[in-house]
Amino acid sequence: MSGIKQESVARFKKKEAVIGIVGLGYVGLPLMLRYNAIGFRVLGIDIDESKVVKLNAGQSYIEHIPGEKIALARKTGFEATSDFSRASECDALILCVPTPLNKYREPDMSFVINTTDAIKPYLRKGQVVSLESTTYPGTTEEELLPRVQEGGLQVGEDIFLVYSPEREDPGNPNFETRTIPKVIGGHTPNCLEVGVALYEQAIDQVVCVSSTKAAEMTKLLENIHRAVNIGLVNEMKVVADRMGIDIFEVVDAAATKPFGFTPYYPGPGLGGHCIPIDPFYLTWKAREYGLHTRFIELSGEVNQAMPEYVVSKLMDGLNERGRALKGSRVLVLGIAYKKNVDDMRESPSVEIMELIQAKGGIVAYSDPHVPVFPKMREHHFELSSEPLTPESLASFDAVVLATDHDRFDYDAISQHSSLLVDSRGKYRAPQAHIIKA
């Protein structure tokens, strides 16, 4: 039986394998480009027909991925499809689909389960199935394993199952898919061997762990580490503010210690698909074992309270100027979840906008990366990005800096705003019209 394994490994090493990437978003597209660039034939599968049409026309729908790269990939063997039966053509099926939380802050596994069910009829001997979506420990074993084996294929002998969490950092110029080490766990040693053969072609360093559960937990620890430390510094920000201390000055000073301290900076809350969501996967799964993850839950509470803290600072600033938030015109700067990207998933800026609107404020936004407010699962504003002219800035009662894009002219923003609420620490020198939040 190990002949199937050896044939699979050989196909990846000779670059004869077809790489199937299911889910062509912020994770799937960079991975497609990497495999395409090193000479693999890549088939992208996505349920969104509009994405498929764009990609096949050589166009990109993600700002930091240039259309020219997609066009070049199309010329060199990349194809996108919404036909899941074509999964049978692929030697590897890499699942890069969303794993959001539902309204009860519980994992919504529907994308992973529906995707696995969609490819299930087309699985065949010699394939490797890799889940990259962030999830709770046990998902690969509990949800994918039984489905992959349903048709009679034996995992570890006929077909191979691995978990290898994505580690994309959109907008970070210092790292790319190739240079970010890849953690991987296999359901069996044979699974791991085939999975390593798949990834070592494309990634400089592959880090093996003993199981899919260990790989799933690794991704959660990475993001919980960030969530807890950001929660800590956000709590410190509130304390420092009451004491008249600038938390950014304190973090900068502490960061000069060459050991034992990693600087984390406060902000208006957590955003993106990972940091605000992933900790709750472990919280949810830990309940099955009778455990309460108090650190995780506490940091979640602190971070979720930050948009309200920013709005309370805005209300204080307006109040000092004899104005109520109700009826005031407020411009929110930056609605992507982090600087220099167009990704709005879980963005705290959107919550700030909703809070302002709920309290009767008239809200607008400016973001060079998001020209029109997109359709989102839970939030909607009929708005387009405001131009940042001196006249436009001066026309608002208050400006809230929520996401500190490099393309903003910070001198002009300060000069022409009557009241500026800075949630990112961009303005370090005290100024009468600037409130730190």
The amino acid at 10: A
Both 292 and 166 in one domain: the answer is no
pLDDT of residue 171: 74
How much is the pLDDT for 273? 66
Determine, yes or no, domain membership for 230: no
Residue with tokens 């559960």: 213
Residue 190 maps to a domain: yes
Q: Of the residues 210, 238, 258, which one is the last residue of a structural domain? A: 210
Give me the CATH number covering residue 384: 3.40.50.720
Question: Is the same domain home to 14 and 91?
Answer: yes
Looking at residue 1, what is its pLDDT? 47
Task: Determine the longest span between alpha carbons in the chain, in angstroms.
Answer: 79
CA proximity to 70, closest of 11, 126, 28: 28
Assigned domain for 16 exists:
yes
* 33 assigned to some structural domain: yes
203/266 same-domain check:
no
Q: Are residues 123 and 255 in the same domain?
A: no
Query: What is the spatial distance between Cα 172 and Cα 168, in angstroms, rounded to a whole number?
Result: 9
Is 224 within a domain? no
Per-residue pLDDT of the chain (437 residues; tens, 9 = 90+): 469 999 999 999 999 999 999 999 999 999 999 999 999 999 999 999 999 999 999 999 998 899 999 999 999 999 999 999 999 999 999 999 999 888 788 889 999 999 999 999 999 999 999 999 999 999 999 999 999 999 999 999 999 999 999 998 877 888 888 999 999 999 999 999 999 999 999 999 999 999 999 999 999 999 999 999 999 999 999 999 999 999 999 999 999 999 999 999 999 998 766 766 888 889 999 999 999 999 998 998 999 999 999 999 999 999 999 999 999 999 999 999 999 999 888 899 999 999 999 999 999 999 999 999 998 767 789 999 999 999 999 999 999 999 999 999 999 999 999 999 999 999 999 999 999 99
Domain assignment present for 226? no
Picking from 159, 192, 210, the residue at the C-terminal end of a domain is: 210
Same domain, 135 and 260: no
354 and 422 both lie in a single domain: yes
pLDDT at 105: 80
Show the domain range for 109.
2-210
Which residues have a catalytic role annotated? 274
Question: Do 14 and 155 share a domain, yes or no?
Answer: yes
Task: From 76, 221, 118, select the one nearest 110 (Cα to Cα).
Answer: 118
Give residue 370's pLDDT.
95
**Tally of domains within the chain:** 2
Instruction: Tell how strand 79-81 and strand 18-22 pair up.
Output: unpaired
In a domain, 136, yes or no: yes
- Give the model's pLDDT for residue 147: 97
What is the number of other CB atoms lying within 10 angstroms of the CB of residue 25? 19
| Residue 118 within a domain | yes
Co-location of 299 and 427 in the same domain: yes
Last residue of a domain, one of 186, 210, 234: 210
Q: Are residues 165 and 266 in the same domain?
A: no
Asked if 252 and 206 sit in the same domain, the reply is no
Please check whether residues 140 and 78 belong to one and the same domain.
yes
Tell me if 320 sits within 8 A of 313, measured CB to CB: no
Residues 270 and 200 in one domain: no
Strand partners, 20: 43, 93
